[in-house]
Protein backbone atom coordinates (compact mmCIF):
# COMPACT_ATOMS: atom_id res chain seq x y z
CA UNK A 1 0.00 0.00 0.00
CA UNK A 2 2.74 2.47 1.03
CA UNK A 3 6.51 2.25 0.89
CA UNK A 4 8.47 3.13 3.99
CA UNK A 5 11.66 1.45 2.77
CA UNK A 6 14.73 3.11 4.34
CA UNK A 7 12.48 5.12 6.69
CA UNK A 8 12.76 4.84 10.46
CA UNK A 9 9.66 5.05 12.62
CA UNK A 10 9.68 5.46 16.42
CA UNK A 11 6.45 4.46 18.17
CA UNK A 12 6.19 5.13 21.91
CA UNK A 13 4.25 2.63 24.02
CA UNK A 14 4.44 -0.06 21.37
CA UNK A 15 4.75 -3.20 23.50
CA UNK A 16 1.02 -3.86 23.20
CA UNK A 17 -2.35 -2.49 22.08
CA UNK A 18 -2.57 0.25 19.46
CA UNK A 19 1.18 0.98 19.54
CA UNK A 20 2.02 -2.62 18.71
CA UNK A 21 -0.35 -2.54 15.72
CA UNK A 22 1.23 0.72 14.52
CA UNK A 23 4.74 -0.76 14.72
CA UNK A 24 3.64 -3.90 12.83
CA UNK A 25 1.93 -1.84 10.12
CA UNK A 26 5.02 0.31 9.48
CA UNK A 27 7.33 -2.72 9.57
CA UNK A 28 5.10 -4.48 7.01
CA UNK A 29 5.57 -1.43 4.73
CA UNK A 30 9.36 -1.72 4.95
CA UNK A 31 10.19 0.71 7.78
CA UNK A 32 12.89 0.21 10.42
CA UNK A 33 11.00 0.42 13.70
CA UNK A 34 11.78 1.41 17.27
CA UNK A 35 9.63 -0.34 19.85
CA UNK A 36 9.32 1.38 23.24
CA UNK A 37 8.03 -0.02 26.53
CA UNK A 38 8.24 0.89 30.17
CA UNK A 39 7.20 -2.37 31.90
CA UNK A 40 6.31 -5.00 29.26
CA UNK A 41 9.84 -6.17 28.41
CA UNK A 42 8.98 -9.63 27.12
CA UNK A 43 6.10 -8.56 24.79
CA UNK A 44 8.33 -5.80 23.38
CA UNK A 45 11.19 -8.24 22.68
CA UNK A 46 8.80 -10.82 21.19
CA UNK A 47 7.39 -8.19 18.84
CA UNK A 48 10.91 -7.19 17.71
CA UNK A 49 11.76 -10.85 17.12
CA UNK A 50 8.56 -11.38 15.09
CA UNK A 51 9.43 -8.38 12.90
CA UNK A 52 13.02 -9.57 12.41
CA UNK A 53 11.81 -13.09 11.55
CA UNK A 54 9.68 -11.51 8.81
CA UNK A 55 12.76 -9.82 7.35
CA UNK A 56 12.30 -6.41 9.00
CA UNK A 57 14.53 -4.28 11.23
CA UNK A 58 13.47 -3.51 14.79
CA UNK A 59 15.09 -2.43 18.04
CA UNK A 60 13.60 -2.19 21.51
CA UNK A 61 14.19 0.79 23.82
CA UNK A 62 13.10 0.88 27.44
CA UNK A 63 12.10 4.23 28.90
CA UNK A 64 9.45 6.31 30.58
CA UNK A 65 8.36 9.06 28.18
CA UNK A 66 7.44 11.31 31.13
CA UNK A 67 11.13 11.46 32.11
CA UNK A 68 12.94 13.97 29.89
CA UNK A 69 16.32 12.24 30.13
CA UNK A 70 14.71 8.89 29.18
CA UNK A 71 13.15 10.41 26.06
CA UNK A 72 16.46 12.05 25.13
CA UNK A 73 18.37 8.77 25.59
CA UNK A 74 15.79 6.78 23.60
CA UNK A 75 15.98 9.17 20.64
CA UNK A 76 19.79 8.92 20.73
CA UNK A 77 19.62 5.10 20.86
CA UNK A 78 17.35 5.09 17.81
CA UNK A 79 19.65 7.39 15.85
CA UNK A 80 22.69 5.30 16.86
CA UNK A 81 20.94 2.17 15.57
CA UNK A 82 19.47 3.46 12.30
CA UNK A 83 21.23 6.76 11.63
CA UNK A 84 18.00 8.76 11.51
CA UNK A 85 14.35 9.01 12.54
CA UNK A 86 11.72 9.96 9.92
CA UNK A 87 8.46 9.45 11.79
CA UNK A 88 7.57 9.75 15.48
CA UNK A 89 4.27 8.36 16.73
CA UNK A 90 3.50 9.47 20.29
CA UNK A 91 1.19 6.69 21.38
CA UNK A 92 2.10 6.02 25.05
CA UNK A 93 -0.85 6.70 27.27
CA UNK A 94 -2.40 5.82 30.60
CA UNK A 95 -5.70 6.36 32.39
CA UNK A 96 -6.40 6.87 36.10
CA UNK A 97 -10.15 7.42 35.97
CA UNK A 98 -12.24 8.84 38.77
CA UNK A 99 -14.91 11.45 39.27
CA UNK A 100 -13.45 14.87 40.11
CA UNK A 101 -14.44 14.67 43.78
CA UNK A 102 -12.53 11.39 44.20
CA UNK A 103 -9.62 12.06 41.83
CA UNK A 104 -6.35 12.60 43.71
CA UNK A 105 -3.71 15.15 42.82
CA UNK A 106 -1.33 12.24 42.10
CA UNK A 107 -3.84 10.74 39.63
CA UNK A 108 -4.07 14.06 37.84
CA UNK A 109 -0.31 14.69 37.77
CA UNK A 110 0.68 11.20 36.58
CA UNK A 111 -1.76 11.16 33.65
CA UNK A 112 -0.69 14.64 32.54
CA UNK A 113 2.98 13.68 32.96
CA UNK A 114 2.81 10.53 30.81
CA UNK A 115 0.28 11.60 28.19
CA UNK A 116 0.96 15.31 27.66
CA UNK A 117 4.45 15.95 29.06
CA UNK A 118 5.64 12.64 27.57
CA UNK A 119 4.44 13.75 24.14
CA UNK A 120 6.18 17.11 24.58
CA UNK A 121 9.41 15.41 25.74
CA UNK A 122 9.53 13.19 22.67
CA UNK A 123 8.64 16.05 20.29
CA UNK A 124 11.33 18.24 21.86
CA UNK A 125 14.07 15.64 21.32
CA UNK A 126 12.97 14.50 17.87
CA UNK A 127 12.33 17.93 16.34
CA UNK A 128 15.95 18.88 17.04
CA UNK A 129 16.93 15.95 14.81
CA UNK A 130 14.16 16.64 12.23
CA UNK A 131 15.41 20.22 11.84
CA UNK A 132 18.83 18.94 10.76
CA UNK A 133 17.14 16.64 8.20
CA UNK A 134 14.72 19.40 7.08
CA UNK A 135 11.98 16.76 7.13
CA UNK A 136 9.95 14.65 9.50
CA UNK A 137 6.46 13.66 10.51
CA UNK A 138 4.96 13.50 13.99
CA UNK A 139 1.68 11.78 14.77
CA UNK A 140 0.25 12.28 18.24
CA UNK A 141 -2.39 9.86 19.48
CA UNK A 142 -5.12 11.83 21.22
CA UNK A 143 -8.70 10.61 21.85
CA UNK A 144 -12.28 11.36 20.89
CA UNK A 145 -12.84 12.38 24.53
CA UNK A 146 -10.20 15.10 24.12
CA UNK A 147 -12.70 16.76 21.77
CA UNK A 148 -15.98 16.13 23.59
CA UNK A 149 -15.06 15.58 27.28
CA UNK A 150 -16.00 12.61 29.46
CA UNK A 151 -17.16 12.37 33.08
CA UNK A 152 -14.69 10.52 35.29
CA UNK A 153 -11.75 11.29 33.00
CA UNK A 154 -10.95 14.96 33.68
CA UNK A 155 -7.22 14.20 33.91
CA UNK A 156 -7.13 12.02 30.78
CA UNK A 157 -9.37 14.38 28.76
CA UNK A 158 -7.27 17.40 29.76
CA UNK A 159 -4.11 15.54 28.66
CA UNK A 160 -5.66 14.57 25.32
CA UNK A 161 -7.06 18.06 24.66
CA UNK A 162 -3.59 19.39 25.52
CA UNK A 163 -2.07 17.07 22.92
CA UNK A 164 -4.35 18.60 20.28
CA UNK A 165 -3.15 22.12 21.21
CA UNK A 166 0.46 20.94 21.16
CA UNK A 167 -0.06 19.35 17.73
CA UNK A 168 -1.57 22.49 16.19
CA UNK A 169 1.11 24.76 17.69
CA UNK A 170 4.04 22.59 16.55
CA UNK A 171 2.51 22.30 13.07
CA UNK A 172 2.63 26.10 12.81
CA UNK A 173 6.08 26.35 14.38
CA UNK A 174 7.76 23.76 12.13
CA UNK A 175 5.71 23.97 8.90
CA UNK A 176 8.31 26.09 7.10
CA UNK A 177 10.89 23.33 7.76
CA UNK A 178 8.71 20.63 6.13
CA UNK A 179 8.03 18.98 9.46
CA UNK A 180 4.39 17.88 9.59
CA UNK A 181 2.59 17.39 12.91
CA UNK A 182 -0.83 15.73 13.06
CA UNK A 183 -2.99 13.88 15.56
CA UNK A 184 -5.14 10.78 15.36
CA UNK A 185 -8.16 10.69 17.67
CA UNK A 186 -9.34 7.12 18.20
CA UNK A 187 -12.86 6.42 19.41
CA UNK A 188 -13.46 3.19 21.30
CA UNK A 189 -10.80 0.67 20.25
CA UNK A 190 -10.63 -2.85 21.68
CA UNK A 191 -7.39 -3.04 23.73
CA UNK A 192 -6.29 -3.83 27.30
CA UNK A 193 -7.05 -0.19 28.17
CA UNK A 194 -10.73 -0.57 27.22
CA UNK A 195 -10.97 -4.18 28.49
CA UNK A 196 -10.87 -2.71 32.01
CA UNK A 197 -14.21 -0.90 31.49
CA UNK A 198 -17.40 -2.36 32.98
CA UNK A 199 -19.73 -4.08 30.47
CA UNK A 200 -22.54 -1.49 30.92
CA UNK A 201 -20.15 1.35 30.04
CA UNK A 202 -19.03 -0.55 26.92
CA UNK A 203 -22.67 -1.03 25.88
CA UNK A 204 -23.42 2.68 26.41
CA UNK A 205 -20.46 3.56 24.15
CA UNK A 206 -21.70 1.11 21.50
CA UNK A 207 -25.04 2.95 21.33
CA UNK A 208 -23.15 6.14 20.40
CA UNK A 209 -21.28 4.54 17.48
CA UNK A 210 -23.15 4.78 14.14
CA UNK A 211 -21.04 1.97 12.63
CA UNK A 212 -22.30 -0.12 15.60
CA UNK A 213 -19.01 -1.81 16.42
CA UNK A 214 -15.84 -1.05 18.34
CA UNK A 215 -12.72 -0.14 16.42
CA UNK A 216 -9.74 -2.43 15.84
CA UNK A 217 -6.14 -1.47 16.54
CA UNK A 218 -5.45 -1.82 12.79
CA UNK A 219 -7.94 1.01 12.10
CA UNK A 220 -5.67 3.39 14.03
CA UNK A 221 -2.50 1.97 12.47
CA UNK A 222 -3.94 2.58 8.97
CA UNK A 223 -4.65 6.23 9.83
CA UNK A 224 -1.03 6.62 11.02
CA UNK A 225 0.34 5.05 7.82
CA UNK A 226 -1.66 7.53 5.74
CA UNK A 227 -0.64 10.60 7.77
CA UNK A 228 3.06 9.60 7.69
CA UNK A 229 2.98 8.84 3.96
CA UNK A 230 3.66 11.03 0.92
CA UNK A 231 -0.10 10.96 0.26
CA UNK A 232 -0.49 13.26 3.27
CA UNK A 233 2.29 15.60 2.09
CA UNK A 234 0.05 18.71 2.32
CA UNK A 235 -1.65 17.79 5.61
CA UNK A 236 -0.44 19.29 8.89
CA UNK A 237 -1.98 20.52 12.13
CA UNK A 238 -5.00 18.23 11.71
CA UNK A 239 -6.86 15.82 13.95
CA UNK A 240 -8.00 12.71 12.08
CA UNK A 241 -11.03 11.20 13.83
CA UNK A 242 -11.19 7.39 13.68
CA UNK A 243 -14.27 6.61 15.73
CA UNK A 244 -16.97 4.84 13.69
CA UNK A 245 -18.88 8.12 13.38
CA UNK A 246 -19.15 8.86 17.14
CA UNK A 247 -18.58 12.59 16.51
From the CB of residue 41, how many other CB atoms can be counted at a distance below 10 Å? 12
Residue 120 found at the interface with ligand NAP (CB under 6 A): no
Residue 17 found at the interface with ligand NAP (CB under 6 A): yes
Residue 198 found at the interface with ligand NAP (CB under 6 A): no
Kindly tell me which residue out of 34, 188, 223, 244 binds ligand NAP, with binding defined by CB under 6 A.
188
Stretch that binds ligand NAP, among 63-71, 129-137, 197-205, 225-233 (CB under 6 A): 63-71
- Distance (Å, rounded) from C-alpha 185 to C-alpha 87? 18
C-beta of 27 vs 132, nearer to ligand NAP: 27
Residue 19 found at the interface with ligand NAP (CB under 6 A): yes
Residue 10 found at the interface with ligand NAP (CB under 6 A): no
What's the min distance (Å) between Cβ of 199 and ligand NAP?
Answer: 15
Residue 92 found at the interface with ligand NAP (CB under 6 A): yes
- Distance (Å, rounded) from C-alpha 33 to C-alpha 26? 7
Helix 118-133 / helix 68-82 crossing angle, nearest 10 deg: 40
Kindly tell me which residue out of 2, 7, 8, 12 binds ligand NAP, with binding defined by CB under 6 A.
12
Residues contacting 24, CB < 8 A, separation 6+: 47, 50, 51, 221
Catalytic residues: 156
Residues that bind ligand NAP (CB under 6 A): 12-19, 36-40, 64-66, 91-94, 114, 118, 141, 143, 186, 188-189, 191-194
Amino acid sequence: MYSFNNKTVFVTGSSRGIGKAIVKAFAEQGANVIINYVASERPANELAEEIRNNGGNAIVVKGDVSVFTDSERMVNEAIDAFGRIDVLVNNSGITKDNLMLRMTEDDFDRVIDVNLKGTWNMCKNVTRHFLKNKAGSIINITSVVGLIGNPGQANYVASKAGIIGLTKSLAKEFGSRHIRVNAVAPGFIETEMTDQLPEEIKQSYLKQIPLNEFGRVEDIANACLFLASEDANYITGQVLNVNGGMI
